Amino acid sequence: MNVRIIVPILLAYAFAAAAGAFAASVPTADQQFVQRAYEDGYAEVVLGKMAMQNGDTDAAKMYGERMVTDRSRDINRLAKLAAADGVSVEMALPSEAQEEEAKLQRLSGPAFDSAYVGYEADDHRKAIAAYQRESTSTKNAALKGYVDRSLPVLETHEALARKAAAQVGAPGGS
């Protein structure tokens, strides 16, 4: 067999094995957090685009636009961080977001706005709690840095969602 063919194949297998071993060195809990955070961020973008198109009030539309802008930037940062640690992330909607997307597709007008911003307020409370847990549990300095930089943004998003919810008369408003 030709050595010129065998050597590149062996190198490809070696690099793949090294990347897999590196990803394996990232604790499963951190990998799960990264995947879930990525999925949740992607869901914010999908639902935010729906709000921009289907929202009835400026409050819902502007909140949706903010989610698309902020969370698009965030999931790109998270994907780069994951890739640097040899962890791949999948672009998928979590089941809760799929259910919410299906629900929102059936709504319009004030009912859409109320459901959207109410969901966002509740979803951000959950995300903040998950990020706080990850901040105290991870040993990965880069991931901790990402989480700690993201928490104030998520807290701002939650406050904006509560404000928008109050404006449209949705649950969770303040």
Give residue limits of the domains in the chain. 27-168
> pLDDT, tens digit, for every residue of 95-106?
999 999 999 999
Q: What class does CATH assign to 27-168?
A: mainly alpha
- pLDDT tens for 58-69 read 999 999 999 999
Q: Angle formed by the axes of helices 141-168 and 109-137, to 10°?
A: 160
What token pair was written down for 65?
């636009």
End-to-end Cα separation, the chain, in angstroms: 72
Which tokens hold the place of 132?
């706080």
Q: What is the pTM of this model?
A: 0.82
